[in-house]
């Protein structure tokens, strides 16, 4: 990667460790300043984590998840004013990143768009105003209110926190009697390590959608879509719809892919989204793309790697260049396909892991990563945080890449007792 950055010229808000390691392999030493919540610096040992990453010049402690005072931050850290781009590392940093970028007169999502896409209820209201297909929804403050909503749809609904990511607290309810016992898991979801303890959330109840699931990745510069991709999604059945795999590009016909990109583009325009990546999720119901969620940041779950492989491009580099005010060219069409399948260990304590060598021997496998070891406790898979690793593959087309990923993942056996 040839991105000419001088000392402290990138501000990275939210210490996403995986991204920082990626930067460490591709960016000049000392080019990145990390801004992180004091609470999280202490809880996660961020100083120790970045000590071995020469790309990070320093860590700046600043509260941002419940509101960033950009002027106060710059008064305390005047060196940040020389930055050439500001990048969100986490979902919870999107709003602060947009405000800091605007304060520094640098490209970014824009504070209003960032705020809309950081709150699932506000996103629903925006989609309604834009005339996009939305499920019925309601912001509720009690199990009784959620039950009244579910009664309109045969006792079925989806409960989700308004301000969490990675499927945390998202529950598909099939029986209204289970809403009260399930309420706390959405109203006070499992606390992610990267979020402050005071990060508020409401509860959104939605009509259940049935249909195949997709995501759309847009790279936008000054309100103009420069690149669009559609990803096939695979999710767990049952109460917790955690993503279990992705394939890029989607196997959908070209016209259907274009319809999804058009819907995502319309959403971006309605929000006034300026510059960056917009990652939206959709369920196609009776042929109509219906909005699920949207994030104003890079997608997780290896999708950036899949795009880079399938389109033979440096997608993250293009994103960084766009945030620096450039217009990098990306391929209009993929040259192949890529897929990821996530490993899902059974709940319990891991007693054995087998099949890794066999998985790596499967044709098309690019990477196999195991995130658990013998002796580790593993919980029920209720969010992306609970997955146990992944297999990354490529193929000539989506079917070949997906088959390779599933075959390789199937050879890995994680035993828990």
CATH of domain 10-106: 3.40.50
Architecture of the domain defined by 120-131+209-335: 2-Layer Sandwich (3.30)
336-417: CATH topology: Aldehyde Oxidoreductase; domain 3 (3.90.1170)
* Average confidence (pLDDT) over 67-84: 96
Separation of alpha carbons 229 and 208, rounded Å: 25
Can you say how many angstroms the Cα of residue 113 is from the centroid of all Cα atoms in its chain? Answer: 16
Cis before 199 (ω within 30)? no
Dump pLDDT digits (tens) for 25-47: 999 999 999 999 999 999 999 99
Question: Domain map of the chain by residue range?
Answer: 10-106, 120-131+209-335, 136-206, 336-417
In CATH terms, the fold of domain 136-206 is Dna Ligase; domain 1 (3.30.1490)
> In Å, what is the CA distance from 357 to each residue of 15, 105, 353, 367?
33, 50, 11, 11
Tell me the pLDDT band of 348, cut-offs 50, 70 and 90: very high
pLDDT band at 198 (very low <50, low <70, confident <90, very high): confident
Q: Which residues pair with 61 in a beta bridge?
A: 36
Q: At what angle do helices 254-271 and 120-130 cross, to 10 degrees?
A: 110
Calculate mean pLDDT across residues 225-251: 96
| pLDDT tens-digit map of 269-285 | 999 999 999 999 999 99
At 2, the pLDDT band (50, 70, 90 cuts) reads low
pLDDT value, residue 190: 82
């Amino acid at each position: 990667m040839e991105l000419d950055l001088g000392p402290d010229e990138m501000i990275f808000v939210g210490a996403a460790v995986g991204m920082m390691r990626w930067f460490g392999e591709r960016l000049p030493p000392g080019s990145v300043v990390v801004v992180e919540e004091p609470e999280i610096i202490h809880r996660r040992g961020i100083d120790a984590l970045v000590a071995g990453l020469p790309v990070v010049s320093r860590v700046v402690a600043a509260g941002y998840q419940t509101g960033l005072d950009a002027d106060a931050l710059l008064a305390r850290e005047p060196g940040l004013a020389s930055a050439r781009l500001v990048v969100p590392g986490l979902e919870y940093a999107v709003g602060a990143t947009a405000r800091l970028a605007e304060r520094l007169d640098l490209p970014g999502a824009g504070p209003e768009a960032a705020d809309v896409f950081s709150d699932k209820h506000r996103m629903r209201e925006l989609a309604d105003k834009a005339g996009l297909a939305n499920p019925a929804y309601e912001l509720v403050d009690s199990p009784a209110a959620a039950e009244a909503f579910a009664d309109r749809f045969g006792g079925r609904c989806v409960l989700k926190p308004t301000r969490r990511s990675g499927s945390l607290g998202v529950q598909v309810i099939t029986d209204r009697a289970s809403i009260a016992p399930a309420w706390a898991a959405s109203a006070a979801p499992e606390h992610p390590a990267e979020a402050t303890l005071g990060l508020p959330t409401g509860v959104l109840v939605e009509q259940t959608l049935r249909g195949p699931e997709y995501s759309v990745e847009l790279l936008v510069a000054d309100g103009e879509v420069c690149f669009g991709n559609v990803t096939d999604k695979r999710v767990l059945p049952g109460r917790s719809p955690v993503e279990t795999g992705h394939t890029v590009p989607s196997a959908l016909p070209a016209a259907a892919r274009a319809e999804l990109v058009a819907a995502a583009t319309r959403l971006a325009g309605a929000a006034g989204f300026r510059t960056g990546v917009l990652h939206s999720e959709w369920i196609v119901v009776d042929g109509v793309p219906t909005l699920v969620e949207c994030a104003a940041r890079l997608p997780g779950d290896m999708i950036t790697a899949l795009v880079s492989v399938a389109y033979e491009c440096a997608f993250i580099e293009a994103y960084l260049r766009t945030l620096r005010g450039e217009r990098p060219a990306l391929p209009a069409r993929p040259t192949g396909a890529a897929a990821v399948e996530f490993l899902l260990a059974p709940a319990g304590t891991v007693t054995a892991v087998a099949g890794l060598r066999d998985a790596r021997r499967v044709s098309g496998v690019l990477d196999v990563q195991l995130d658990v070891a013998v002796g580790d406790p593993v919980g029920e898979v209720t969010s992306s945080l609970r997955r146990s690793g992944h297999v990354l593959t490529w193929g000539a087309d989506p079917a070949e890449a997906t088959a390779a990923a599933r075959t390789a993942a199937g050879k890995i056996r994680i035993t828990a007792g």
